[in-house]
Every structure is written in structure tokens, then in C-alpha cells.
Structure 1
Amino acid sequence: MKINTRYHEEIEVNEEEKIFFSSGIPGFPNEKEFVILPLGSDSPLSILQSVNNEELGFVVAEPFSFYKEYEFVLEKSVENQLNIQDEKDIQVYSIITLGESLSTSTINLQAPVIINRKIKKAKQAILNTETYHTKHLLVNNNKQKGQEG
């Protein structure tokens, strides 16, 4: 099927590539079908693109590419909602807010997008922790222990 996109113009995607958010994404409860589109062959960034709204595309990345120590425990309700049986079936993305450069761009580690790759169900989970917040610097070469970043 063909879809119009925010960053890739019109493209062809397979029906099997669609990811279903049963409750939508916070702020967009009616947008339930998305696809992940790479931004380039060697870029860690992708686009979480709405299938039905070409203007709705989020820049995302696997957070472990930028924060190797990133870890969290999913609430049982999220595991149940996504029917997660094996953690190998999980794919995690974080939404990126682009600044004028990579050094001013931020990554949301408090609300990861969790995808059950096996059944193509997803949810943006809000972590109940003070460890992570919504605006960690994407690039922070001067990070010291105890600094936010």
C-alpha cells in the first residue's frame, strides 16, 4: 500500500509493517496505525510515521544507541496490554526532539515506545521513575557521574 509521509514523500509499505497502537499515542488518541521508516542506511534515527496522517511523523531512535546504560522495568499492565511473552520480542524506541544541531537535540527516556515485534502491537509507556525525564541531551560528550544527560 502507498502512504504519504512527512519526511519520505509517498512510499510503498507492506501491510505487515504496520504497528498498531490500540490507544493511539499520547496527544494523538485517534492515530493508531504507524510504520517505522529508517532515515538512512547508516543513521540511528528513524521515523515513526502515521499511516493515515502524512503530517504526523516522530523522529525516533533506539535509546541504547545513545544511552547504553538505559534500563527500566515495564509495568505488568503494559506487558499484558502488549501480550509480551518473551523480552526478545520487544523493540524499544524513544522520541527525539530535534534542535538546531545534534548537540541541542533531546531524547525522551521517560516515555519509551514499546513494540511487541511478534504481533505488531505498541504503546508509549510512561515510566514511573525519577531516573529518566523527557529531555535528555542526545549527545553529551562531557557527561560526568551525577550529571543529567
Structure 2
Amino acid sequence: MHIQTKFHGELNIQPNQTWNFPKGVPGFEDENEFALLPIEGNHTFQVLQSTTIPDIAFIVANPYTIVDDYSFNIDEPTIDLLEIDNEQDVFVLGVLSLKEPFETSTINLQAPLIFQSNTNKAKQMILNDNTFSMRHSIGTQVTATEGQA
């Protein structure tokens, strides 16, 4: 499948490389199919790219590499929607808001992206507590070039 992307130009991806968001992403409820794309030379961040609208792309990262004590429980509706049977089949990413200078960028810990690797389904789950912020500073814990080979 050929897709146009915001940061990578035109790409050919396989259908098994896409993630289905059955309910879309908050603010983009009609967008149900996304691809996770690497950022060349960087193993910390990825791009969550809509497969239909090039301008819908989010920079995402594993929140556990940014916040040591990050934890939450996945709610039952999300478990049911994503068909989660085993926690080993799940991974979590957070959406970043990039700023200048880069160290002032933030990650949304209040609405993690939950991915179920066996079904290729995903959902952005809104947490119902204020333990973590929507705009948690990434500070100097992660740099733009971390993970370069």
C-alpha cells in the first residue's frame, strides 16, 4: 500500500504494518488506520502517521523511558476493544508536543496510546486521574539524538 506521509514523503507499507484505531484518535475520530514509522537515526521517537491524510502525524515515544514511575491500569472497555488477553501483547506510547528548544518539549501522560500487537488494534485511552500530566516535560532525560547508531 502506498501512503503519503508528513515527514517521509511517499512510502510503500505492508498492511500488517498498520494499526487500526476502531474509535479513531480523539480529535480525529474518522481516522482509523495509522502506521508507526521510524525516525532515521533515532531509536527513541517514532511517527504515528495516518495512512489516508498526510498531515495527520504525531511524534510518539515510550513514556517509560521518560518517566521512571509511570504506571496506570488499562480500563475494561479498552481491554475488550483491543482484545487484550496478555499484558506481554501490549505496548504503550505517548504523544509528544515538540518545542524549541527541544528540551522544553512535552509528552502527554494523561492519554497514552495502547497497542495490542496480536490484533494490530490500538486506542488512545484517557486516564481518569490527575497523577500524570498532559504536558509532562521531557527535560534533559531524552535528547533528540538519543539512540543514534
TM, length-normalised to structure 2: 0.91
Residue 115 (1) aligns with residue 115 (2): yes
- Name 2:28's counterpart in structure 1: 28
- Name 1:71's counterpart in structure 2: 71
Distance 2:96 2:107 in 1: 4
Distance 1:2 1:46 in 2: 19
Residue 47 (1) aligns with residue 47 (2): yes
Distance 1:117 1:41, change over 3 A: farther
Structure 2 residue runs without a partner (length 5+)? 142-149
Shift of 1:76: 1.1
Q: Which amino acid aligns with 1:24?
A: G
- Name 1:37's counterpart in structure 2: 37
Distance 1:105 1:30 in 2: 27
CA RMSD of superposed structures (Å)? 1.1
Q: Which amino acid aligns with 2:30?
A: N
Distance 2:135 2:42 in 1: 24
Question: Secondary structure of 1:123's match?
Answer: strand
- Name 1:13's counterpart in structure 2: 13
Aligned residues: 141
Shift of 1:50: 0.1
- Name 1:81's counterpart in structure 2: 81
Shift of 1:140: 5.0
Distance 2:42 2:87 in 1: 26
Question: Secondary structure of 1:69's match?
Answer: coil
- Name 1:99's counterpart in structure 2: 99
Question: Secondary structure of 2:96's match?
Answer: strand
Q: Which amino acid aligns with 1:119?
A: T
Structure 1 residue runs without a partner (length 5+)? 142-149
* Identity value in percent: 35
Question: Any idea what the Cα deviations from partners look like across 1:58-114, whole Å, max 9, x if unmatched?
Answer: 000011111122111111111111110000000101000000122110000000000
Distance 1:68 1:13 in 2: 33
Q: Which runs of 4+ in 1 moved over 6 A?
A: none
Distance 1:85 1:40 in 2: 33
Relative CO higher for 1 or 2, CA cutoff 8 Å, sep ≥ 6?
A: 2
Distance 1:40 1:79 in 2: 32
